[in-house]
Homo-oligomer: A and B are copies of this chain.
Amino acid sequence: MARSQEHSARPLDARSQAVLRAVIEEYVRSAEPVGSQTLVDRYRLGVSSATIRNVMADLEEAGYLTHPHTSAGRVPTDTGYRMYIESIAPRINLAPVERLMIRHQFGQVEFASEQWFRLAAATIAGATHAAGLATPAKPRACKLRHVDLVATSAHTASLVVVLAEGSVKQELIPLEDGYDQLELDDIARLLNNDFAGKSARQVATRVEALSGEPELPVLMLRAAQRIERMMREFDAAAVEDVFSDGLLNVMEAPEFSQSEKLRRVFAVLQNRDYLGSLVPRLASAQDVQVLIGAENDATEMQDVSLVLATYGQPGRAMGVVGVLGPTRMSYPHAIGTVRFVSSLMNELVEQLYR
């Protein structure tokens, strides 16, 4: 939750806090600037609208609220949202009903580990009515577990590489002159003996050594080089994939009805690098992180917020789950959901490494 904060050094008195909170909650509900009278009508603040106006003027002075124009109600600023979130974050816990529903969804696909992160994104999208994001848990540095060479036709074979953390990669490899499956098995056995348990770097040095030997079957060297490249690419990829679900939910928000803003947001999501680049930044964080509007350094993201958390085991394999929604989103709910889903994902990963 911690994120350095230039503005709000001075804490607010209880009433200002209550008003800020009421403004935000009302604005999240209605998507329209909030006037003093509305607050008096709907929230038990115990003072008149004139007093509220004074308080709101102070909050605006302090940078927590703004005016779209003189005779309109107040709208929270990014700083306002942050203050609000920090004041409530520790107390957030998802309602038991929701926990149950989410846990139930996770019960379904216990074993297809490749699907976990998709499920996480879908669940989050469903629970928060915003877009759910998730990346698979990417191992820090992969180790080779097992290699397989399977003939798929007379002139091609499938090279299957199983990495220690459960990922599987596969490529086609052309066969020059009719190898049969038995020969392929031999080569696979040799490769396994030589490479199993090795990291990308270790494989690379080993391949170097091999390429000197003249007696080696061509195919063996070719396959070894492929394996080396696959592992190197796997390690190099910042994040293998960012899966998102429920983008439609975001499109439905009234602030995106003029498609210009929406388009910008999509542009960022389409280009997966941006979200990938967040993972290292999050790695050190303990709890859920919230990035509000302009706090995201990408200008395209100024109108949306991210609620993110890591999962997995530090130093072994880490992934990210989160919510992308309009800045005007229900943060308590989003934070609660993300926190809970990340804890579920933790359990799953732990089960994998136990």
- A interface, CB within 8 angstroms of B: 111-114, 145-146, 148, 150, 152-156, 158, 160, 162, 164-166, 168, 170-174, 226, 247-248, 251-252, 256-259, 262-263, 266-267, 270, 351-354
Contacts and interface: CB of A to CB of B under 8 A. Distances in A.
Contact of A145 (B113, B152, B174, B262): B152
Contacts of A112: 170-172
A153 B124 CA distance: 29
- Nearest first, the 6 closest Cβ-Cβ pairs linking A and B are A259-B259, A168-B170, A111-B172, A146-B150, A111-B171, A113-B172
A162 B145 contact: no
B251 A153 contact: no
Contacts of A166: 152, 158, 170, 172
A352 B248 contact: no
A115 to B, nearest CB: 9
Copies of this chain in its oligomeric complex: 2
27 contacts: A111-B172, A111-B173, A112-B170, A112-B171, A113-B170, A145-B150, A145-B152, A145-B158, A148-B148, A152-B164, A152-B352, A153-B354, A154-B354, A155-B351, A156-B351, A156-B354, A158-B162, A160-B160, A166-B170, A168-B168, A168-B170, A247-B266, A248-B263, A251-B263, A252-B263, A257-B258, A259-B262
A146 B148 contact: yes
Given A247-B266, A251-B263, A160 B158 contact: no
A339 to B, nearest CB: 25
Contacts of A113: 170-172
A129 to B, nearest CB: 14
Nearest to A112: B171
Nearest to A151: B145
Nearest to A245: B270
Contacts of A351: 155-156
A153 B170 CA distance: 22
Given A146-B148, A155-B354, A258-B259, 8 more contacts: A111-B173, A154-B354, A166-B170, A168-B170, A248-B263, A248-B267, A251-B259, A257-B258
Contact of A251 (B248, B257, B266, B353): B266
Contacts of A174: 111
A130 to B, nearest CB: 14
The residue among A158, A226, A251 with the most chain B CB atoms within 10 A of its own CB is: A158
Nearest to A350: B153
Nearest to A171: B111
B352 A153 contact: yes
